[in-house]
Amino acid sequence: MIPKTKLYFSERIVLLRIMDIFFMFIGFAICNLYLNFKYINILETTISKNRLVLMVYFLVIAQVFEMYNLAASASRFKTTRNLFVTTFVCVLLYLYTPILTPVLPSNRIDILIFFLCIFISVFVWRNIYIFTVANKKFYKYILLICGQEDILKDLIYHVEHHSRDDAMYGYITEKELGGKKGFLDVKNTNIDEIISKNKIKEIIVSTKGFSEENTELLNQKIVHYFEQGINILSYEDYIERITFCVPEKNLTKYFYRYFNFSENHENRLYLFFMRCLDVLAGIIGLFFMLFFIPIVLLGNLIWSRGSLFYKQERVGAKGKPFWIIKFRSMVTLAEKNGAQWAIKNDARITPFGKFLRKMRIDEIPQFWNILKGEMSMIGPRPERPEFVDELGKQIPLYGIRHVIKPGLTGWAQVMYPYASTIEEQEKKLRYDLYYIKKRSLFLDFKIMIKTIHTVLYFKGQ
């Protein structure tokens, strides 16, 4: 039997945020009543600035530490780990921003109560979520219309491994494909009844492989369902939506059927705003670089003797070359035999260089490139001319990534950081193209949040 209760992806994220704050304040109320805790007094009827600041701190920090990543939120281990770090940082920030928040409590035990109250209250709610809402009975059921076995296998794989709130009810086709469960014969199935009984609100369509007669029949039904308010998605659009990258099948000579630049590509207000952010980030980044130079210099003297900086030619916007600046993280003469891909656990990276890369400290000098306008904070990572020439010959549409400025960080960088083969570079390209297609302030914000998470969890290359 198909459960009738379903919560969509966005609804579950909103639910998590609301209930995190609700349970946290319930915890404070209990502490106010039974532990004489007054640092955050929820029993006061007036809405105070202190409570609003705490809410903002918690929600922003929780976003950074992936408390609203649905895959992580369904895991008790990841939830506990992320919640502990979120609570610790939130409490620390709240205690030491006295202009925005109350002064430190005179009774220091209140600090411990403050921490435990947030952690335990949200921990209780998150376990309730894991055993109820995160259960598949709250997923929305989708119907597949698919006539080719390879496409069906691809769809089912993506539904099972990438979709965050979808479960497949079944697939409609002319004959059973590959022994997959959920087969519904196109001629003998009452599709209207299935959609009505199971409240299906989304149908994924690929009519390739159907006979002309059945294609016409399905097209008529699809128009009818669309008129009823059911969301109809092509196979390609659905894959892009759940993987956050352009589907591999779209990288053909007919790419223009599926790919277009974001409206922000020519939006002067957006471009001006991003340039202002780049200039501000460049100034702040170079200021902080002054503090890191002594640390990097000392680390180089002990573990990696050689020059502090290194310059390397990269390809920028419109294919124009420029010189990128970084803190050196590899041994000297690392490429005496010619240009080589950087790979995971690369032997050429010094022990201190590994630390720099994990923390992304080696990238800090690139704020100079950002300030000069050769790079932006967000965009495809710039590649070397030798690699661009090679990749352009083997990967269709590789040159499209140069339509915008390269970035210090980017969608491909946070979603798929390692790429040491042609196949992996092709995968990263699909993420870069997704960013170019969907470019927006909201996506830029997501990239910055994911970048901060990458740095704090030492996930850099």
The mean per-residue pLDDT over the stretch 11-28 comes to 93
This model's pTM is above 0.85: no
The band of 126, judged by pLDDT with boundaries at 50, 70 and 90, is: very high
CA distance 406 to 403: 9
Mean pLDDT of the chain: 88
Q: How far is CA 164 from CA 121, 126, 140, 242, 433, in A?
A: 25, 17, 10, 8, 22
Together in a domain, 404 and 288: yes
The mean per-residue pLDDT over the stretch 20-37 comes to 94
Together in a domain, 331 and 432: yes
The band of 60, judged by pLDDT with boundaries at 50, 70 and 90, is: very high
Q: Judge whether 198 lies within some domain.
A: yes
Q: Judge whether 25 lies within some domain.
A: yes
Name the least confident of 80-89, 174-183, 223-232, 397-406. Answer: 174-183
Domain end residue (candidates: 212, 243, 274): 243
Q: Judge whether 1 lies within some domain.
A: no
Domain end residue (candidates: 243, 271, 287): 243
- Determine the residue type at 370: I
Q: What is the pLDDT of residue 138?
A: 66
Q: What is the pLDDT of residue 278?
A: 96
125: which 2 tokens? 């709610």
Dihedral of CA atoms 114, 116, 120, 123 in degrees, nearest 10, equals 90
Q: Judge whether 450 lies within some domain.
A: yes
Most confident of 123-137, 206-220, 376-390: 376-390
Name the least confident of 94-108, 178-192, 364-378. Answer: 178-192
Backbone angles phi, psi at 72, to 5 degrees: -70, -35
Strands 309-315 and 202-206 turn out to be unpaired
For residues 329 and 123, which has the higher predicted lDDT (pLDDT)? 123
For residues 61 and 256, which has the higher predicted lDDT (pLDDT)? 61
Total structural domains within the chain: 3
Q: What is the pLDDT of residue 324?
A: 95
Together in a domain, 168 and 112: no
The mean per-residue pLDDT over the stretch 163-187 comes to 80
Together in a domain, 194 and 284: no
CA distance 126 to 17: 11
460: which 2 tokens? 């850099």
Most confident of 157-161, 182-186, 291-295, 331-335: 291-295
Range of the domain at 308: 263-456
Together in a domain, 187 and 309: no
Together in a domain, 127 and 143: no
CATH number at residue 172: 3.40.50.720
CA distance 9 to 128: 18
In this predicted structure, the answer to whether residue 388 has a pLDDT above a threshold of 80 is yes
In this predicted structure, the answer to whether residue 2 has a pLDDT above a threshold of 60 is no
pLDDT digits (tens, 9 = 90+) for 77-125: 999 999 999 999 999 999 998 888 888 888 889 999 999 999 999 999 9
Together in a domain, 96 and 154: no
Together in a domain, 196 and 326: no
Together in a domain, 365 and 419: yes
Q: Judge whether 420 lies within some domain.
A: yes
Q: Judge whether 124 lies within some domain.
A: yes
Q: Judge whether 256 lies within some domain.
A: no
Q: How far is CA 98 from CA 92, 113, 134, 314, 392, in A?
A: 11, 19, 38, 45, 54
426: which 2 tokens? 């092709």
Q: Judge whether 78 lies within some domain.
A: yes
Q: What is the pLDDT of residue 256?
A: 83
Together in a domain, 348 and 369: yes
Compute CA 70 distance to the chain's CA centroid, rounded to the nearest angstrom: 11
Q: What is the pLDDT of residue 1?
A: 39
DSSP string for residues in 130-194: HHTTTSGGGSEEEEEEE--HHHHHHHHHHHHHT-SSEEEEEEEESS--TT-S-EEETTT--HHHH
Q: What is the pLDDT of residue 45?
A: 66
In this predicted structure, the answer to whether residue 327 has a pLDDT above a threshold of 80 is yes
Domain end residue (candidates: 79, 107, 131): 131
In this predicted structure, the answer to whether residue 458 has a pLDDT above a threshold of 70 is no
Together in a domain, 159 and 69: no
Together in a domain, 193 and 124: no
